[in-house]
Structure 1
Amino acid sequence: MALPLGMDNYFNNATYNSIADVMLPHTTNSYWYEFDEISKYNVHLNYLERMWAAWYAYIGNDVLATGIMSFLMHEIVYFGRSLPWIIIDRIPYFNKYKIQDQKVPTAREQWECAKLVLISHFTVELPQIWGFHPMAQYCGLTTSVPFPSIWTMAYQIAIFFVLEDAWHYWTHRAMHWGPLYKNIHKIHHQYSAPFGLAAEYASPIEVMILGLGTVGTPILWCAITKDLHILTMYVWIVLRVFQAIDSHSGYEFPWSLHHFLPVWAGAHHHDVHHEKFIGNYSSSFVWWDWLLDTESGPEAAKRRRERRALKAKKAA
């Protein structure tokens, strides 16, 4: 499908929210034909932007184009990021970095976990992904090119990390309340020593509740500011999925991020949560657990004893 003549300035027109807004009716042309046609009339776009525009032009339906891309992206990122941890679990050398070194997941455990995760992806997440585009575009999200600047994407993603972390802390902490734990969250705690694939091993209700923080945070931002590109949201989700999988990896390395960024939670923080079944409710950062004294583990217990001793000394 060729881009209509005279539309070479379209992509700089902020009044359009989607590429398909001005595309001609879809034909049977190939993706690369669309890419070549868009490249002819939009030489100011970089290669990735032309590939992006060609995808929406080739599919000819924004909802379908976004749905396919979103679902494939999630599956490739989730299982692609989990694969290195599966391989590491099979290499004895890395056992010295395993936080609970006596609890290496078996191949059967990995497979059983993968099956439940796949079922959840197709029955819970796929319908939500399919309805994402209409809802997001209604709130003002754009799919057009050119892409936003790196700076714009960086500060928006930083805000999403902070807001989502607050949502995760309070909902996660609530799910450790008796009835909610028994009926919803207990499934996720089947593995007291987590591993990468188990990041989304959870009940459908939990997947929806926690997923609301990941998807709802940028949608809320978009509804308020009317300034969000779907590429920014994709990068945010990729980073959030990476964070979730890495925090469940069960490995603590000398180069782990929390050694350089003390407020970052990391694998050790979340591994203790799975081992002790209480405390360390945050996802990305540790400040909510610090502030509300819900840290778990021997180091946190030692700090509490020291604070009590100091308080008693002052009162004497």
Structure 2
Amino acid sequence: MALAVLSMIRNYTENEWISDDFLLQPIWDYLRLEMGNFCRSPLFPVVISVTFYFVLNLPFMIMDIMGESWPRIYKYKIQQKPVKLGKMKEAIVCSLQNQVLFVLPAAIYQWLFRPPISLSVQAPSVAEFVLGLLGNMLIFDFQYYWWHRLHHNYRFLYKYVHKLHHEHNSPCSWTTQYVTGCELVAVGIFANLNPLILNQHFLTTHVAILMNIYVSVEAHTGYDFPWSMASVSPFNLWGGAPTHDMHHQKPLTNFQPFFTYLDNIFGTSSDAAHCESRDPLKKQKIILATSN
């Protein structure tokens, strides 16, 4: 399958208008030549990840604050009840505490002890870039499924590592990092170690990290938009917000963070019929997505 996709991408990129040089090389040249010192800095991954996470949450926070007063958006909310602002505040404070207590020390350590890295002149090919992103997501998804399932099946791990995250049975985007330090570190190791294992280009590595953040936040938003990844993905391969929202209601189901195939294979997918909604068409859509 991977070889077939690779062959298709290579054939597609033979077109001069979408060649590797046309698509990725100018982007990489700009980053390398205009922002090279920042990119080589040990602080670069931390700065872009933290900034991206907090900026990404802002529009969803506005949606949650507006709530029912913004019906064009609120109609896409999976659980048709307003987000409790007190819970949102808890999640924001927890996110900030985690950055200060765990991310900042890691950043300082890298700044002091990790030398600046070298940047290659050549950008990754389109095939390498696309398959690199896909590979990262598949590996992370597999790792987190088993890590997640383990922490729900063993009382000690659930109580002291993962239970905090499930204080929100109706999640909002800030719930993404409403986690203990142990969980934040574990997920961070998965996300940052996999590109090294795959020996990926600098550009692929950091886009993959940002993509992990995006899909994790999207899964916790509590909204099922027509343009979300779950809505546009074929064959119901992507779980997204509908399945993860159900996980917060039925915690022993839907352990995969991104895809759905492992939950389907190992019988841990849920029937989303109990997912609260005032829109019967939306409820029917969720049921069909989890039953096929």
TM-score range normalised by the length of the shorter chain: 0.7 to 0.9
Q: 1:187 aligns with which of 164, 171, 179?
A: 164
Q: 2:78 aligns with which of 78, 99, 104?
A: 99
Q: Which amino acid aligns with 2:92?
A: A
Q: Distance in 1 between matches of 2:266 and 2:218?
A: 24
Q: 1:168 aligns with which of 123, 129, 144?
A: 144
Match of 2:45 in 1: 70
Match of 1:289 in 2: 263
Q: 1:233 aligns with which of 205, 228, 233?
A: 205
Q: Distance in 1 between matches of 2:114 and 2:130?
A: 20
- Identity among equivalent positions (%) equals 26
Structure 1 contact 105–195 (Cα < 8 Å) conserved: no
Greater Cα offset, 174-183 or 93-102: 93-102
- Aligned partner of residue 270 in structure 2, secondary structure: coil
Match of 2:119 in 1: 143
Q: Distance in 1 between matches of 2:50 and 2:182?
A: 20
Deviations 1:62-102 (A, max 9, x none): 4xx131x2222112210111111111112321222111112
Two-structure CA RMSD over aligned residues (Å): 2.9
Q: 2:174 aligns with which of 197, 201, 222?
A: 197
Greater Cα offset, 269-278 or 210-219: 210-219
Structure 1 contact 276–297 (Cα < 8 Å) conserved: no
Q: 1:265 aligns with which of 227, 231, 239?
A: 239
**Aligned 1:212-231 pairs, distance under 5 A:** 212-222=189-199, 228-231=200-203
How many aligned residue pairs are there? 246
Q: Which amino acid aligns with 1:70?
A: P
Distance 1:183 1:230, change over 3 A: same
Structure 1 contact 82–197 (Cα < 8 Å) conserved: yes
Could you say which structure has the greater relative contact order, defined with CA pairs below 8 angstroms and 6 or more residues apart? Answer: 2
State the 1:47 CA deviation. Answer: 6.7
Match of 1:155 in 2: 131
Q: Distance in 1 between matches of 2:208 and 2:273?
A: 32
Structure 2 contact 42–115 (Cα < 8 Å) conserved: no
TM-score, normalised via structure 2 length: 0.75
Q: Which amino acid aligns with 1:174?
A: L
Match of 1:40 in 2: none
Q: Distance in 2 between matches of 1:195 and 1:184?
A: 20
Structure 1 residues not aligned, in runs of 5+: 1-44, 223-227, 307-316
Greater Cα offset, 153-162 or 125-134: 125-134
Structure 1 contact 282–289 (Cα < 8 Å) conserved: yes
State the 1:250 CA deviation. Answer: 0.3
TM-score, normalised via structure 1 length: 0.70
Q: Distance in 2 between matches of 1:136 and 1:279?
A: 40
- Aligned partner of residue 226 in structure 2, secondary structure: coil
Deviations 1:108-139 (A, max 9, x none): 3322211211111222123334556999999x
Q: Which amino acid aligns with 1:101?
A: Q
State the 1:150 CA deviation. Answer: 2.8
Q: Which amino acid aligns with 1:76?
A: T
Query: Greater Rg, structure 1 or structure 2?
Result: 1
Match of 1:125 in 2: 103
Structure 2 contact 243–272 (Cα < 8 Å) conserved: no
Distance 1:51 1:277, change over 3 A: closer
Q: Which amino acid aligns with 1:95?
A: Y
